[in-house]
Chain A
Amino acid sequence: MSTTPEPEFAYEVGAGVDITKLPLTPEEGVVVSRILGRRVTADDLVKESVVPQARAASVLESLVRKGAVLRVGAGRPGGHAAGPDPYKGIVFSMVDLSEPADLTEDQRKRILFFDMNLESWSHYKLLGSKRTATPAEVKVAYFKSSKEFHPDAFFRKNLGSFRERLDRIFRAMKTAYDTLQDPQKRAKYDETAIIELTPEEEAELERLAADKRKADDAKRRDERNADRMKDQRLKRNPMAERIKKARDYLRMAEDAQRAGKLDEAANHARLAVGYDESIKGKADAIVLVAERARAATMMKRIQQIIASPSDMRDLADELNRVADEVAEVAARANDGPLLCEVSSVLMKLKRPVRAAKLAQQAADVDSRNPRAWEALAEAAHADSKWAILLRASDRWLQLEPGNARAKELHKVGKRQT
């Protein structure tokens, strides 16, 4: 496939990797223990008879995949596609190259090259990291980039206009690193960003995906087998048909949920319950996931609207509607924190009665949550329900003895009753 010989990679255990927590085979365990604290090549390991020549490549490959070791020694950041002339086809401005600054020509070119590509390069390319890199590998790449582009590498040097470029580059690298280090942010980024891939990376990604598919298929096959056996047992049961249908719907719901189609999942789940009451627990859980996701989106919208007062006037109606919807979900889900949050939103919308109801429910869910009592007290206060105010602020004070607002409300409650 490739004409150049396999480059000599070195391997090491990344900082913060707890190898005891990884699912390693005994053979892999031995190899890792010999890599720990050093940087070695496959050759070294073979020479030290840690692993036979024939096994070295595949064991190391598997260790890299499991995140136990890092492969180091690959190309420079941003430049792994670079050939002999990394700047082929680029014309640098003489103004930039001759500006008085304590920088070599190569440094200038590197900085200009990175700066002009900041918008177009993916996080991976910017750090010189592979699309399949583990978090530990991303860290190595980021450290390497930082050493070259961190402002401290040019401490108190005269950089002229390059100072600003450098700041920009380092900031972008930091963002790239933060994104790729956080599994959630990275997953989202991978989904939305345009990422250039080398053929090798594509192949590797494809292989990883295939592995996963295979594993999933195997699992599903096992499940199906188990179901089939159950079917046979159910053969003479008059309810069998309905139960089977319910189960099918439930499976569809689970599949949809796995695929991220939450509303669809909820729909299937509701249908499933129609056929078989006994799976209500499982089905409700799926419905709830969908409703919560929806509530979270709506909540975000509410916060947005509240944050910008000009939108608020126009969108009061929408706000009320959305808030009602969230309130309903929160009530159904018996979700204490969400109830509190909605309650406080309703207060902002000047609807203390509803707010009080939700706050009461939040307090019922968890009577030790001061936020619930706070919400109830505020709502009762706004609605002049003094007895409730007294009770709620009293509870609140018990939970948070020093709270000034609680004291204040408690006083009001006492005075009024």
Chain B
Amino acid sequence: MSEERVIGIDLGTTNSCVATVEGGVPKVIANRGSYKTTPSIVAIAESGRRLVGHIAKRQAITNAQNTVYAAKRLIGRKFAHPVVQQARQVYPYKIVEGSTGDARIELRDKVYSVPELSAMVLGEMKKVAEEYFGGPVEKAVVTIPAYFNDGQRQATKDAGKIAGLDVIRIINEPTAAALAYGYKKNVKKRVAVFDLGGGTFDISVLDIQDGVFEVLATAGDTYLGGEDFDQRIVEWLVFGFAKEHKVDLRTDVMALQRLRDAAEKAKMELSVTATTEINLPFIMSTGKSDALHLQRTLTREKLEEMCGDLVERCVEICDRMLKEAKIRKEELQDVILVGGMTRMPKVQESVRSYFAMEPSKNVHPDEVVALGAAVQAAALTKTGPGQPDLLLLDVTPHNLGIMIAGGYFNTLIPANSTVPTSASHVFTTTRDDQTAVKIVVLQGDSEIASANELLGEFLLTGLPRAPRGSVEIDVTFDISPDGIVAVSARDRATGAEQSIQVTATNKLSEDEMKNIIKENEAFAVAEKSQEAYGELRTQAERAVREIERLMPVVREVIGASDFGDDALKKAQQVVERAKRAIAMQDGDALKGGREQLERTVVMFKGVAAKVGKS
């Protein structure tokens, strides 16, 4: 029985990773450069070409304005959201407001939605898998930070759709890590997963037993990660430089990009060494013909001092979650570290001292999330008889509810409820003969309605005319296993039912979605034929070189006869035409001339072979 090709993708803020399960063993699929992770970076080159991953990262310094990294920090967010406004200050690319109030990114005069950009990364991961399998892959489980809200989840699903993936499930990153940790290992423990990546922090507690993974509680911060550590270092460098030279490096995008790269590199080095040099020659020119150089020494101690509060915040979130879930630290039997930032000694130390135990060293912090996604994908698509190998009982991270009179938030499904789940509530009219009611759906943790995330609002119309308070409307909230919310309403008296789509205000509209998918299809086609063109061109170039190399020999042998002269002239023409087609980048002309070129090569080789000079 052949296994269906299904993959798990960890769509990270900084790095993405794809994995699959083969013969019951989860494994990471390396990309063409044999790297196991791919930078989540997308760029548009001057030629208009899309670059993704390592190539995009390599050209980031010279093309900073058109290179997007950390797009995940913006996904599913409104332009007006404070974190988007903050991102606008520090990221070199241009963030603009989309038609539905969402944050979008402008690159070379074209505006992209964030899901579109994430889709490019997902598409790249899909391609990596397809190259490995040697055939198409469609089904995937994609991971997201556990603390993502409905809008961010939906937007990630959209990204999958745009990339041509059938996203069979969205799962939470810490949960995925736990799946990989406990898969087929007969684990029977209560564990905490501490996941500090490039952009987000998550903490989850699970009970693992008999192949069932039950999430007891989860918390996090979707805007706390390695990027923030880098930013602290960048600021430190910028201010130091300003003091010395009276220039603000942030005004120069290229300099800023170099600073950012150097900051991350220094941060990583300080995980193993006590001090590091940051050396950026020619960081800026003053215009008076002399260039400025940046050179500073950063110690681990200084880094820890600058970023201590960030680490502290992670610990506080852990503490709050355990208290709210009424779980004692002593009940935990293991702590799993996930995410590149957990390599920082200070982070490990804080975890060790807070949980009072040595964290588990059994998982690979960069790969475990993708592996877990692959494990879940395989479990869901498992065919054949019998119960699943593993079952995930995950929870919803936020309270879900509606706004009630006075602007308060009334929770209907509390945080940490196991999904899928649903809840019903009876509403009524507040005026006589009222035929419509408005319901504002919110997600979040504040008692004040406006401090929560607005998922959408809808009008339930067509109610029978009746005195106020006498119409009864059952409203049902539903959370899918993906953590995505749907709402339906029913008028009790008439039994009339209405399903309402919660259209989050920051989501792509249906039409936009369709357009993007279509555009992407067109793009996929364009890219395919471009690749084909490349191949034609190399073939033609090789043939031309070969013909030109053999030309003197062939001329010597056959040039004397009329027939031979004619053949040589024709060969010359063929070569001329091929060269012109290459210069014009004319794929069709190349295709047309291919046969003649090949025939000429064969003929020339034949002649040369006869005189023993091939």
- Write the residues of chain A forming the contact surface with B, with a CB cutoff of 8 angstroms: 12-18, 20-21, 37, 104, 139-140, 143-144, 146-148, 150-153, 155-156, 167, 171, 174, 308-310
Q: Are A146 and B208 in contact (CB under 8 A)?
A: no
Which residue of A is nearest B382, CB measured? A155
Q: Is B331 an interface residue (CB 8 A)?
A: yes
Smallest Cβ-Cβ distance to A174: which chain B residue: B418
B209 touches which one: A15, A20, A174 (CB < 8 A)?
A15
Q: Which of B189, B328, B379, B393 has the most CB of A within 10 A?
A: B393
Contact partners of B328 in chain A: CB under 8 A:
18
A309:B469 contact, CB within 8 angstroms: yes
Residues of B within 8 A of A (CB): 168, 188-190, 207-212, 214, 328, 330-331, 333, 379-381, 385, 387-388, 391-393, 418, 420-422, 428, 430, 468-470, 481
Please judge, given known A-B contacts A15-B208, A309-B469, whether A153 and B190 are in contact too, CB under 8 Å. Answer: no
Closest chain A residue to B481 by CB distance? A152
Cα distance, A283 to B470, chains bound together (Å): 48
Interface pair B330/A21, CB less than 8 Å apart:
yes
- Whether A153 touches B188, Cβ cut-off 8 Å, given contacts A139-B209, A143-B214, is no
Q: Specify which chain B residues have a CB less than 8 angstroms from the CB of A147 in the assembled complex.
A: 210-212, 387-388, 391
Cα A140 to Cα B393 in complex, Å, equals: 14
B393 proximity list for chain A (CB < 8 A): 146, 150
In the assembled complex, 11 residue pairs joining A and B whose CB atoms fall closer than 8 Å, in A order, are A13-B188, A15-B188, A15-B189, A15-B190, A15-B333, A18-B328, A21-B330, A146-B391, A152-B391, A153-B388, A310-B468
Please state if A15 and B418 are interface contacts (CB–CB under 8 Å). Answer: no
Contacts beyond the supplied A18-B330, A155-B380, A171-B421: 11 A-B pairs with Cβ under 8 Å? A14-B209, A15-B189, A15-B208, A16-B207, A143-B212, A146-B212, A146-B393, A152-B391, A155-B168, A156-B380, A167-B420
Taking a contact as CB atoms under 8 Å apart, the answer to whether B469 and A143 are in contact is no
Closest chain A residue to B186, Cβ basis: A39
Distance of A124 from chain B, by nearest CB (Å): 19
Given contacts A18-B331, A147-B387, A155 and B381 within 8 Å (CB-CB): yes
How many whole Å from A89's CB to the nearest CB in chain B? 28
Q: Whole-angstrom distance between the alpha carbons of A18 and B190 in the complex?
A: 10
CB contacts (< 8 Å) of A140 on chain B: these are 209-210
Q: How far is the CA of A371 from the CA of B508 in the complex (A)?
A: 41
- What chain B residues lie within 8 Å of A21 (beta carbons)? 330
Question: Which residues of chain A come closer than 8 Å to B209, judged between CB atoms?
Answer: 14-15, 139-140, 143
Instruction: Report the bound CA distance from A150 to B328 in whole Å.
Output: 29
- Complex contact A15–B330 (CB within 8 A): no
Q: Which residues of A contact B388 (CB under 8 A)?
A: 147, 152-153
Q: Are A148 and B430 in contact (CB under 8 A)?
A: no
With most chain B CB atoms within 10 A of its CB, the pick from A14, A147, A309 is A147
| Nearest Cβ on chain B to A105's Cβ, whole angstroms | 13
Q: In the bound complex, how far is the Cα of B481 from the Cα of A167, in angstroms?
A: 12
What's the least CB distance linking A365 to chain B, in Å?
22
A395 CA to B421 CA in the complex, in Å? 43
- Nearest chain-B residue to A310 (Cβ)? B469
Q: Which chain B positions have C-beta within 8 A of A150?
A: 391, 393
Contacts of A20 in B (CB 8 A): 330
Q: CB-CB < 8 A to B381: which residues of A?
A: 155-156
Given contacts A21-B330, A147-B391, A151-B420, contact A309 B430 (CB under 8 A): yes
Closest 4 A-B residue pairs measured CB to CB? A310-B469, A16-B190, A143-B212, A15-B207
Separation of A21 and B381 alpha carbons in the complex (Å): 42
* Complex: A147 Cα to B382 Cα, angstroms: 14
Docked complex Cα distance between A383 and B388 (Å)? 65
Q: Are B189 and A153 in contact (CB-based, < 8 A)?
A: no
| A residues in contact with B469, CB < 8 Å | 308-310
B168/A148 in contact, CB under 8 A: no
What chain B residues lie within 8 Å of A148 (beta carbons)? 387
C-alpha spacing A144/B391, complex, angstroms: 10
**How far is A308 from B211 in the complex, measured between Cα atoms in Å?**
46
Q: With A and B bound together, what is the CA distance between A3 and B292 in angstroms?
A: 94
Please name all residues of chain A whose beta carbon is closer than 8 Å to the beta carbon of B468 when the two chains form the complex: 309-310
Shortest Cβ gap from A195 to chain B (Å): 24
B382 to chain A, nearest CB (A): 8
Q: How far does the alpha carbon of A16 sit from the alpha carbon of B481 in the complex, in Å?
A: 25
Which residues of B are found within 8 Å of A310, using beta-carbon distances? Answer: 428, 468-470
- Measured in the bound complex, the distance between the Cα atoms of B377 and A156 in whole Å is 12
Partner of A152, one of B190, B207, B380: B380
Residue in A18, A153, A308 whose beta carbon sits within 8 Å of that of B391 in the complex: A153
B65 CB, min distance to chain A CBs, angstroms? 36
Question: In the bound complex, what is the Cα–Cα distance between A167 and B381 (angstroms)?
Answer: 19
Q: How far is the CA of A147 from the CA of B391 in the complex (A)?
A: 6
Separation in Å of the B143 CB from the closest CB of chain A? 16
Q: Find chain A residues with CB under 8 A from B207 CB.
A: 15-16, 139
A12 to B189, CA, bound (A): 12
Q: Which residues of A contact B168 (CB under 8 A)?
A: 155-156
The residue in A13, A16, A140, A167 that gathers the most chain B C-beta atoms within 10 A of its C-beta is A16
> Which A-chain residue is minimally distant from B331 (CB atoms)?
A16
Tell me the complex Cα distance, A152–B211, Å.
Answer: 14
Distance in Å from the Cβ of A37 to the closest Cβ of chain B?
A: 7
With A and B bound together, what is the CA distance between A146 and B387 in angstroms?
10
Name the distance in Å between A402's Cβ and chain B's nearest Cβ.
11
List, in ascending order, chain B residues with CB within 8 A of A18's CB.
328, 330-331
| A150-B390 Cα distance, complex, nearest whole Å | 11
A135 smallest CB distance to B (angstroms): 11
Report the separation of the CA atoms of residues A18 and B332 in the bound assembly, to the nearest whole angstrom. Answer: 9
